[in-house]
Amino acid sequence: MASNLWSQEQFSCSVCLELLKDPVTIPCGHSYCMGCIKNCWDQTDHTGVYSCPQCRETFTPRPVLRRNTMLAEVVEKLKKTGLNPPHAQSYAGPGDVPCDFCTGRKFKALKSCSTCLASYCETPVKPHYEGAAFKRHKLINAIGNLEQKICAEHQKVLEVFCRTDQTCICLLCTQDEHKSHDTVSAKKERTGKQIL
């Protein structure tokens, strides 16, 4: 069935993030709920210049909005037959690591790449598993503020705590400037401090 190839995101308004209601397609080709784009343009009526909230293409005079009947029919059929979520996961919420690859509403990241310094949800992470170009990239469970958790010198994850210097370091640092220092895994040190 064709609906299995489509996701709700493809038929969502980028203003309200809901399924399109009374869809209209503006001259640049982007589609919105009639009410959403009217409200956006009503706020800039005094300037006489109207722009697409997505691509920022400007229009003068204000384009006449007409219901996109074909898109409206597709959305109605999809409502009846059901929609697949864009990924077998959810949107990123507070406290979640958002996917750096997603545009618009971000999905919850599953993995972070310490080589790319980016976090990925289900679909964008696939090349890391399948592509030869990503063979040497290191995937870890998704973490936020990735740049702050990578060693500036070795570009490796900071997974060791140096008790001597009271700082997080990478495994390569334990063989260099922290060689004779008192070190433990960062996880163990964090657990120990939480108990206190």
Cα–Cα nearest to 113, from 87, 88, 147: 147
Q: Are residues 115 and 191 in the same domain?
A: yes
Q: Is residue 44 part of a domain?
A: yes
State CA 26 to chain mean position distance: 26
**pLDDT for the residue 196:** 56
C-alpha 110/C-alpha 104 separation (Å) is: 18
Residue 130 included in any domain? yes
Q: Does residue 90 sit within a domain?
A: no
% pLDDT > 90, the chain: 34
Domain assignment present for 98? no
Tell me: pLDDT of 7 over 70: no
Do residues 122 and 173 share a domain?
Answer: yes
Does residue 24 register a pLDDT over 90? Answer: yes
* Whether residue 191 is found in the same domain as residue 116: yes
Instruction: Note the pLDDT tens digit of each residue in 165-174.
Output: 999 999 999 9
Domain boundary among 60, 81, 102: 81
- Predicted confidence band at 158 (pLDDT cuts at 50, 70, 90)? confident
Q: In angstroms, rounded to a whole number, what is the distance separating the alpha carbons of residues 108 and 87?
A: 10
Say whether pLDDT at 107 is over 80.
Answer: yes
Average confidence (pLDDT) over 154-173 = 90
Domain span at residue 42?
Answer: 2-81
Is the same domain home to 58 and 16? yes
Q: Which two tokens stand for residue 35?
A: 């009410």
Beta bridge partners of 84: 7
C-alpha distance from residue 165 to each of 147, 177, 191 (Å): 21, 11, 18
CATH code at position 20 = 3.30.40.10
For 58-81, the pLDDT digits (tens) are 999 999 999 999 999 988 887 776
Q: Does 119 reside within a domain?
A: yes
Which conformational region is residue 31 in: left (phi greater than 0), alpha (psi within -120 to 50 degrees), or beta?
Answer: beta
195 pLDDT band (50/70/90 cuts)? Answer: low
Looking up residue 176, the CATH number of its domain turns out to be 3.30.160.60
Q: Within a domain: residue 116?
A: yes
pLDDT band at 51 (very low <50, low <70, confident <90, very high): very high
Query: Are 89 and 122 spatial neighbours (Cβ–Cβ below 8 Å)?
Result: yes
- Size of the chain in residues: 196
Q: What is the pTM of this model?
A: 0.44
Q: Are residues 71 and 146 in the same domain?
A: no
Looking at the structure of the chain, the number of domains it has is: 2
Q: Which domain-ending residue is among 64, 81, 98?
A: 81
Tell me, yes or no, whether 135 and 189 share the same domain.
yes
Residue 84 three-state SS: strand
Residue 136 counted as domain residue? yes
* Of the residues 27, 59, 81, the one at which a domain ends: 81
Residue 60 in contact with residue 49, Cβ under 8 Å?
yes
Provide the pLDDT for residue 2: 38
> Is there a domain that residue 174 lies in?
yes
